[in-house]
Amino acid sequence: MTTSNPGTDPAWDEAQCTSALAQLERLQAQIDDLRLTIPRLVEPFYSPPTPSVFRAYKENIATSQNDMKKLKSQWKNPQVEKIFTYSKHSFQENGDLSKSSEVPRYGWVDMEEKLQEATQKGDKEKEAESDQGMDVSQEDIRKIVDEWKARNDKIKFQGQDGYHDFKISFVSDSLVLKFHVTITQELNGVQKLRAVCLGTKEPALAITRCINTRPHPNDLSYLLDMIAAYKTVKGTKCAKCGEMFDSQVLGTVARRSREVVDGEKTNVEWEAFHEHCLV
């Protein structure tokens, strides 16, 4: 969900956008709660006038004043001001808001928590491996992608020569899944391999999170096979808990491989998992 570049600010990545939307959702919840201020203030007067009625009234006024103070300080929080400035610049640069209709209003606080959990889950070894970046030549990239394309000729692949930026799309369980893969050269010279499942709603967001926490983050061949597994391994039952859906009615949004020994041969098998069932 990388947005356009407003002015001199660097474009925000998915985690920053999710965190900004979560912040705005929390602000909206505070504003919604303030709508109940008047009903809360008059509520004690539905009872006969006694000292406890006036005490309740006084307490309600103090609570409402605190709520107002909290909203004001939250509104002026540098983080929120940054969000408003970023949105303003982004709007000046591109005033087309049609895409915003696809962005859900709620669920961002949850999403932020999940993203943080997913980041913490990645163990130190994996992080260290990821920091090293990919170490493959242009020729190797072309070879890996061409071989994968030959093995998966029914999967739609759109990419230019060099394969540094390509899209893969197919229908899986009546869902159209589109993946965007990029290989970029960072300023420190490290080659980064990134992939997202395009879309602003579930299950696309959960699929992206599960791809981001994959083992072997710098292995292009592994990533391509994982993407193909969303088509070849139908989202039936989770290999860990055996259920179709998790508690949030999300299907098996993750794919992981395991090695199966068959006589002298070792085959790689892909399995479907819920996001919460990943070990």
The binding site for Zn ion (CB under 5 A) comprises 238, 240-241, 274, 277
- Residue 7's alpha-carbon distances to 4, 90, 91, in angstroms, are 9, 8, 11
Q: How far is the CB of 247 from Zn ion (least distance, A)?
A: 10
Determine the Cα–Cα distance for residues 116 and 167; give it in Å rounded to an integer: 27
In the complex, least distance from residue 241 CB atom to Zn ion, rounded to whole angstroms: 3
d(CA 257, CA 133): 21
For Zn ion, the nearest residue by Cβ is: 238
Q: Label residue 107 left, alpha or beta by phi (over 0 means left) and psi (-120 to 50 means alpha).
A: left
Tell me whether residue 211 or residue 238 sits nearer to Zn ion (CB atom).
Answer: 238
- Give the C-alpha separation, 13 to 11, whole Å: 7
Closest separation in Å from C-beta 104 to Zn ion: 24
Copy the structure tokens of residue 187: 């300023």
DSSP structural state of residue 11: P
DSSP 134: B
Nearer to Zn ion, 136 or 233 (CB): 233
State the minimum distance, in angstroms, from the CB of residue 258 to Zn ion. Answer: 15
Cβ 56 vs Cβ 44: under 8 Å: yes
Enclosing H/E stretch for 64: helix 51-75
CB closer to Zn ion, 82 vs 240: 240
In whole angstroms, how close is the CB of 237 to Zn ion at the nearest point? 8
The residue (of 204 and 254) whose beta carbon lies closer to Zn ion is 254
Among residues 198 and 244, whose Cβ is nearest to Zn ion?
Answer: 244
d(CA 176, CA 174): 7
Q: How far is the CB of 28 from Zn ion (least distance, A)?
A: 32
Closer by beta carbon to Zn ion, 177 or else 253: 253
DSSP 8-state class, residue 257? E
